[in-house]
Amino acid sequence: MKPETPLLTVDTIIQDPSGRVVLIRRKNDPFKDCWALPGGFVEIGETVEEAARRETKEETGLTVELDRLVGVYSAPERDPRGHTVTVAFLAHAAAGALEGADDASEASWFEDPFRVKLAFDHAQILHDCLRGETSV
């Protein structure tokens, strides 16, 4: 019998040299129309790194290079759909043009990402990343 376990997701903080970060506006619930980090569920047979690059490309049109692990976020209440664990990465854009697609109705660069309502625990993830801290 398989144990019941949390679902696995990834989130990506895309930062440019001036410090701006990319946020997407969520097209679907939960947090429909709120801003969020690009990310999503890891597929079977995929590494978290592959998932981060794939989800980022699908939602933003950007091909990214991952720079470092920001942290693992596992609070059982962080996602209203159920217990979900996310692995968050800092990345930079390597190619592509920014545009919202897939689960994102919009994608944009933000000089101050805290000025908008952020979905899930993405404010905490951003705080940790921008302070250079790693969360486990």
- Please return the burial class of 107, using the count of CB atoms within 10 Å of its CB with bins 0-12, 13-18 and 19+: buried
Q: In what order do the strands lie in the sheet with 35-36?
A: 35-36, 21-26, 104-110
Which candidate in 55, 106, 111, 133 is catalytic?
Answer: 106
CB-based contacts of 29, cutoff 8 Å, min separation 6: none
Residue 49 is among the residues annotated as catalytic for this protein: no
Q: Report the C-alpha gap between 124 and 126 in whole angstroms.
A: 5
| Cβ neighbours of residue 28 closer than 8 Å, sequence gap 6 or more | 103
The rounded Cα 5 to chain-centroid distance in angstroms is 21
Residues labelled as active-site residues: 106
